[in-house]
Amino acid sequence: MNRFLLTFLVAALAIPSVAQEKDRRLTEKPKHYNLPYHPWTPPATKEAWEARKVVLKEQLLVSQGLWPLPEKVALNPVVHGKIDRDGYTVERVFFVSHPGHYVTGNLYRPTGHKGKRPAVLYAHGHWTNARLSTANSWASDKKTGAEATEESSKYFHQAGCAMLARLGCIVFHYDMVGNSDSMQIPHRQGFRDVEAQLRLQTFMGLQTWNSMRIVDFLHTLPEVDTARIGITGASGGGTQSFVLAACDDRIAAAFPAVMVSASMQGGCICENCAYLRVGTTNIELSALIAPRPLGMTGANDWTREIETKGLPELKTIYKMYGAEDNVMAKFFSFPHNYNQPSREVMYNFFNKHFKLGVDGVIAEKPFTPVDPKQLSVYDAEHPLPKDAANAEALKKTLTEAQEKQIESLMPKDMKSLLRFQNVEFGALRAMLVDQMPNGGNIDVKRDDDFTKKAGVLVRDFTLSREGQGEQVNCELIKKKNLPDRVVVWVHPAGISSLWQDGKLVPAAQTIVDKGGGIFAVEPFRTVSGKENLPIISKLDYAGYYFGYNRALVAERVRDILTAIALMKREMVTVDLVGFEKAGPWVLLARGLCGDAVARTAVDVNGFRFENVKDFDHEMMLPGALKYGGLLTLAGAIAPHDLYLHNLKGAGSTATLQAAYAAAGQANRLERHEEKSGDMAVVNWVLR
């Protein structure tokens, strides 16, 4: 069994089933990449898909650390060592991706072709020393028909690049990080610590950024037709192929081989990161490419069912655009590979969609390979640059760039406020993997009627998003009829925080005495199920959890949003109050509420994400520091009324203040360093 999966399952099994609980989230084991089936049902209409597509694309970009895009530094490419072959040349290339980090690869250019030519990124997978490797499987390949020549068997990566070049494509065959010439950071190492996750600095995100920078490099070549840039790759290179095409609209066509499936989703840390597949799958992520051409191959591995599980769903999406012929998949009964039959499907795919002009079915031609030593990009005259950074140095560079980027977004006027809020709201929506729900999509179970208790009317509710099997316990308190104004009350002690010695606590009593109602909510694992938390720190890599499951704080925010949506469905004005350590949950939730909430009062509890030092911390939220932390994310709330107290130790409110000032509503933000009493908070809300 894959060692990454084994460690995941060990940690997952630490979560016993809680038979007495009905909440699905307490009884189901966490999702992981190697489930036997990751189903996806496409939306029924194009309009529904277009709406979903916007949210999904944001989530994908956030997962890769690319929301917003980092600053693009000068590439400063070094191209040298041209080698002539029949119908093409091969050159050695390296250039800057981030300061101190270099992309390495070989540039194949066709000869004998006029005019601008299409270009293809060729992303290899997890073959050892892939771009510079040789294979020793000719006897087997000859017997099975996997390869037609010893050269293509021995140098199958080169074979694909050479044939594409002969067909008239410019090809950039590049290294995964930690492979071949890209040895600054060993593969699967670095970016595993808590701070890296809090800043969305990941191995996968680095690879995806490298791929984007290759597209930038290809745009600098005058002979490249920038309207015809494609990507292909197998296995981990297949992951890069569909992820890059989904992220970057400059990719006109993609051909991921032996990767896209409804089964195993990708087992390496270079294929996993926080948020990538929470609530989604590789099939749906690939659908982001539509209506641009998408081709796939399957093998006798996790992709064996691609023609029946995956392709039909993708065709549904492509049909919405009148482009059903732009997506295809072909299964071959070979082991995991990128062998000649698969490569030939790829050549014909690009011939069709890039109009290479070849009549009939393309078959691969024999070629003369280049000795791998001659393909290595570094030599005595072209050494690895002295500023080449390891993982720790690169993380420092990335952190400085992130902080500078957030500073540059500081709101100054309405235009800059909208830009700032677009970034922060998009980040919040992706990190919480949620948004304000439609009240009509909430399943509600409630007591038959109100009961009288201590002079007020009380009714218990259990809520769930439609069909999600959640169980969110709530309690509605009023004096007579449903009031026009209801305070959603969030406290770490849940409903019991309203009552003391059989009576409402004074702050709650004040609300109902003044004609308001209270809707108290018990978010996930606050009152029950706390002892069954998953032990994320036991995993080999935290991205294996956060890439498929919401963070604990995100689940709590989800329940708060569900409660707010139900109250809005009842057409009442909703105020929101967060007490003690529930204050930060409420502040995060409020950022997604828009106009659904009138006034919000939050006990910040001195919290800041810089103090999260453990993956098992209940406030662990990957990406929170990248976007400036709790009080900067709260800038998405402006210009709505906001009361913050217990701010001491929570960090600067400068950006939050700037957001309210830019909106012309500075007076609607009230801040207190010390903790306010509950009565002071309630009186502000009811003011």
- 644-680 pLDDT, tens digit per residue, is 999 999 999 999 999 999 999 999 999 999 999 999 9
One domain, residues 347 and 207:
yes
One domain, residues 492 and 351:
no
Residue 398 lies in a domain: no
Closest CA to 461 of 529, 530, 518, 511: 518
CATH number for position 237: 3.40.50.1820
590 within 8 A of 468, measured Cβ to Cβ: no
Written as six digits, the tokens of 345 are: 């499907």
Q: Is the pLDDT of residue 1 over 60?
A: no
**Amino acid at position 378, single letter:** Y
Q: Is the pLDDT of residue 10 over 50?
A: no
pLDDT number for residue 352:
98
Collapsing DSSP to helix, strand or coil, 153 comes out as helix
Residue 408 lies in a domain: no
Collapsing DSSP to helix, strand or coil, 107 comes out as strand
One domain, residues 338 and 470:
no
**Amino acid at position 375, single letter:** L
> Would you give the distance in Å from CA 101 to the centre of its chain?
23
Q: Which H or E run includes 485? A: strand 485-490
Residue 100 lies in a domain: yes
Neighbour-count burial for 70-89, b at 16+ CB within 10 Å, e otherwise: beeeebeebeebeeebebbe
271 within 8 A of 204, measured Cβ to Cβ: yes
CA-to-CA distance for 27 and 19, rounded, in angstroms?
7
One domain, residues 326 and 466:
no
Residue 500 lies in a domain: yes
Mean pLDDT of 387-410: 97
Q: What are the helix and strand counts (H, E) for the chain?
A: 22, 21
Q: What is the distance in angstroms between the CA of the first residue and the CA of the last residue of the chain?
A: 61
Residue 444 lies in a domain: no
Mean pLDDT of 168-188: 95
One domain, residues 570 and 460:
yes
Q: Tokens 């010893």 sit at which residue?
A: 150
Does 291 sit behind a cis peptide bond, omega within 30 degrees of 0 on the bond before it?
A: yes
- 586-608 pLDDT, tens digit per residue, is 999 999 999 999 999 999 999 99
pLDDT category at 128 given cuts 50, 70, 90 is confident
pLDDT category at 528 given cuts 50, 70, 90 is confident
Residue 472 lies in a domain: yes
One domain, residues 323 and 199:
yes
User: Which of residues 344, 372, 400 is at a domain's end?
Assistant: 372
What sections of 506-582 are H helices per DSSP?
Answer: 506-513, 543-546, 552-569
pLDDT category at 129 given cuts 50, 70, 90 is confident
User: Which of residues 372, 387, 414 is at a domain's end?
Assistant: 372
Q: Which residues pair with 459 in a beta bridge?
A: 476
Provide Rg for the chain, Cα atoms. Answer: 28
Q: Tokens 């919000």 sit at which residue?
A: 600
- 207-225 pLDDT, tens digit per residue, is 999 999 999 999 999 999 9
pLDDT category at 4 given cuts 50, 70, 90 is very low
Written as six digits, the tokens of 245 are: 């095409």
Q: Number of structural domains, the chain?
A: 2
One domain, residues 488 and 356:
no
CA-to-CA distance for 570 and 572, rounded, in angstroms?
6
> Would you give the distance in Å from CA 21 to the centre of its chain?
30
pLDDT number for residue 482:
76
User: Which of residues 348, 372, 396 is at a domain's end?
Assistant: 372
46 within 8 A of 183, measured Cβ to Cβ: no
Residue 15 lies in a domain: no
Does 110 sit behind a cis peptide bond, omega within 30 degrees of 0 on the bond before it?
A: no
One domain, residues 578 and 475:
yes
One domain, residues 368 and 251:
yes
Question: Which whole-number Å values give the CA distances from 307 to 59, 350, 448, 640, in the listed order?
Answer: 27, 20, 50, 50
| Domain boundaries, position 595 | 430-434+456-686
Residue 64 lies in a domain: no
Closest CA to 42 of 310, 295, 443: 310
One domain, residues 368 and 471:
no
One domain, residues 359 and 493:
no
One domain, residues 526 and 666:
yes
475 within 8 A of 458, measured Cβ to Cβ: yes
CA-to-CA distance for 448 and 456, rounded, in angstroms?
16
pLDDT number for residue 86:
96
Written as six digits, the tokens of 317 are: 């999406």
Q: Tokens 């294979």 sit at which residue?
A: 135
